[in-house]
Structure 1
């Protein structure tokens, strides 16, 4: 029985509804205002409320999956839209608007835009650009998804450390990750590996990348540790999730967790991922890694880590559509667990207890997905607002 209110009511009927603990064929989700008010696993579509004075709508999700809106803790694609090519800079507000629409098309309703606060011309990055992107996110009245900032701090860059430390009072910053991209450390075996990675299709020049690697290698390990400690202290009073990045081994994880890290992103080795789990830190891997079938750079395979039970969260990293695709990769687990890694678990890590699952009382962030021939979002709701609709063929219809 659906209790009618004066608020706008939307009924999503007939889809495969994935709840936290079970999946229901032909279920129903009812949205009123910005909340889910009912999830009925055995609803009869013929019993849906009759539209009255435009107050109630029914969406037929037959043949599709109904999932909670995805929560992406680390997606740095907005930087690519800011600089489509090296030397071509787009207005930050326009770049963010592009990222916003593609975010929804990828099924993500809560997006932590991973913005690198560092002066690295070889990667088209500057603290000035990063600050303008942050301001655009904070101002984002026209954005359809819920955008937040994941501030990436490069410890080899003193200006980056100073800037991120000053961001503690900005409520838009919810995650801060501490990185040290240095040849011979983490995922870079040597300067050649570093230069190869930092020479990309957007115009970074090999000799510039090689020089950047030499400059970073010149920063003493003691300096990096001191900067990490200073930054952690500066952020102690801020309500942020603190993340480490590219931890290579258990010792690196211990150092990170001892300094208050809550989330270990992209551990390089299985031993590091295991240690993070042992220490009670959440572990995040890249969805592209799982979808592709391995790390692009020869690091830890996400599937191996999942089989070991040491992956809590998947992130889109640089490829937004990989997050949704990861849900449909058969890992030998129930789909409820695969959905949780990209919805309720990242929400929990970020301290967002109002979203990430299809349950009565939860924020009405929801996506309808056509799984064939590839997972495609046909509908997205953010806080009950119908913000994205893409016709996918003859199965697309409302009543």
Structure 2
């Protein structure tokens, strides 16, 4: 029996974990999914979704997008960090993402970098906006520790016990290995810095020296800090070789983010780690760094989840694109951006349309074959 305060969404293609219920109905009560039916509802006040898809709210574990709002141009810090966070949040929610881990870099990267100031501002602004109820999505923190950076430990240490920090990843972006095995791709990536060839080569030498001096020691120090909290989830970044995966396993990492080769992804997946690839890699048809294709990993069944990385809208697009590019069903593909990721980050109360779970949902309309988020609900309240 429905109550007068129930939210009833009907005549939708309801995407559950295992099926697509055409003409289905979802009933929401007190912020939770109360019932799912495979038939349309005639209840007064039911919202007719006109055959659009109804998906679980998307779960994003690694987006660099917040930094683009704090620093919209090189060396330009936006004067109101809270305004930047709220603008970022609006774009996240409009993309159908209801749970987001803002991935914040722990590392100075260079003497002239503003990243250290930006990290302090970002974390304080996210916490303030969250406490004041200014955010549409549920925001958590993912601290990305650049182990070859001279300052990474002292930057990370003050936040290791923060309850909003649930995920920590170990990174090493030193040229010549992992993501930047092809240094020409790094040169292209850094083209907006305006460096001459001599300046770029000097920067490469500096980073190689930093790696030799700091990477191993800092990796061990960050790991020691992470182990002080049993609830922290550890990931590694850009695993390229089977040796990288073996190292990650020995350290207790459970997620391999953006493995750069088929062998590394296969090794990680087979050993029980969860693999995450970039959704832009799917939408664009390949990696901008020249690394392994996420589509190839999906076809081989060694892809466990997707991250929007630098384009929030890519999550939804990639989920639908994979049903055309692989033999994945829509429920299996949607799980890569919802249920699978929720499980990886220890949030089993969301990511699925099922009774008793959070009523985080997104109404999706296909326009010229492109999925568009039309309405978004978090805890049964419409936020977009």
- Please state which band the TM-score falls in when normalised by the shorter chain: over 0.9
Query: Do structure 1's residue 366 and structure 2's residue 361 form an aligned pair?
Result: yes
Match of 1:312 among 295, 304, 308: 304
Name 1:98's counterpart in structure 2.
87
Name 2:180's counterpart in structure 1.
188
Query: Do structure 1's residue 31 and structure 2's residue 28 form an aligned pair?
Result: yes
Q: Identify unmatched segments of 5+ residues in structure 2.
A: none
Name 1:58's counterpart in structure 2.
46
Name 2:263's counterpart in structure 1.
271
* Contact kept in structure 2, 1:248 and 1:267, CA below 8 Å: yes
- The alignment partner of 1:98 has SS state of helix
What do residues 135-178 of structure 1 show as CA deviations (whole Å, max 9, x unaligned)?
11122231111011111111111312222233221011111111
Equivalent-residue separation in structure 1 for 2:310 and 2:211 (angstroms): 29
Name 1:9's counterpart in structure 2.
6
Change (3 A) 1:251 1:306: same
What do residues 250-287 of structure 1 show as CA deviations (whole Å, max 9, x unaligned)?
11111011111111000010000011012211100000
Equivalent-residue separation in structure 2 for 1:83 and 1:121 (angstroms): 16
Name 1:159's counterpart in structure 2.
151
Name 1:128's counterpart in structure 2.
117
1:244-323 map, 5 Å: 244-323=236-315
What do residues 338-388 of structure 1 show as CA deviations (whole Å, max 9, x unaligned)?
000000011000000100000000001000011122211111111111111
Name 1:353's counterpart in structure 2.
348
* Contact kept in structure 2, 1:81 and 1:96, CA below 8 Å: yes
Equivalent-residue separation in structure 1 for 2:144 and 2:217 (angstroms): 17
* Contact kept in structure 2, 1:192 and 1:210, CA below 8 Å: no
Change (3 A) 1:41 1:313: same
Cα distance, 1:297 vs. partner?
1.6
Cα distance, 1:190 vs. partner?
5.5
Name 1:232's counterpart in structure 2.
223
Equivalent-residue separation in structure 1 for 2:31 and 2:200 (angstroms): 47
When structure 1 is superposed on structure 2, of 158-167 and 77-86 the one drifting more is: 158-167
Query: Do structure 1's residue 73 and structure 2's residue 61 form an aligned pair?
Result: yes
Name 1:394's counterpart in structure 2.
none
* Contact kept in structure 2, 1:113 and 1:149, CA below 8 Å: yes
What do residues 70-113 of structure 1 show as CA deviations (whole Å, max 9, x unaligned)?
00011111111111112332121111111111001111000111
- The alignment partner of 2:178 has SS state of coil
Equivalent-residue separation in structure 1 for 2:187 and 2:196 (angstroms): 6
When structure 1 is superposed on structure 2, of 254-263 and 350-359 the one drifting more is: 254-263
Cα distance, 1:223 vs. partner?
3.7
Equivalent-residue separation in structure 1 for 2:185 and 2:17 (angstroms): 42
When structure 1 is superposed on structure 2, of 31-40 and 153-162 the one drifting more is: 153-162
Equivalent-residue separation in structure 2 for 1:223 and 1:101 (angstroms): 38
Equivalent-residue separation in structure 2 for 1:356 and 1:122 (angstroms): 41
Equivalent-residue separation in structure 1 for 2:358 and 2:250 (angstroms): 34
- The alignment partner of 1:153 has SS state of strand
Change (3 A) 1:107 1:242: same
Name 1:391's counterpart in structure 2.
none
Change (3 A) 1:372 1:193: closer
- State TM-score, norm by structure 1: 0.89
- State TM-score, norm by structure 2: 0.93
What do residues 188-228 of structure 1 show as CA deviations (whole Å, max 9, x unaligned)?
1365443332333xx56456654433221113447422211
Name 2:108's counterpart in structure 1.
119
Q: How many pairs does the alignment contain?
A: 374
Equivalent-residue separation in structure 2 for 1:21 and 1:326 (angstroms): 19
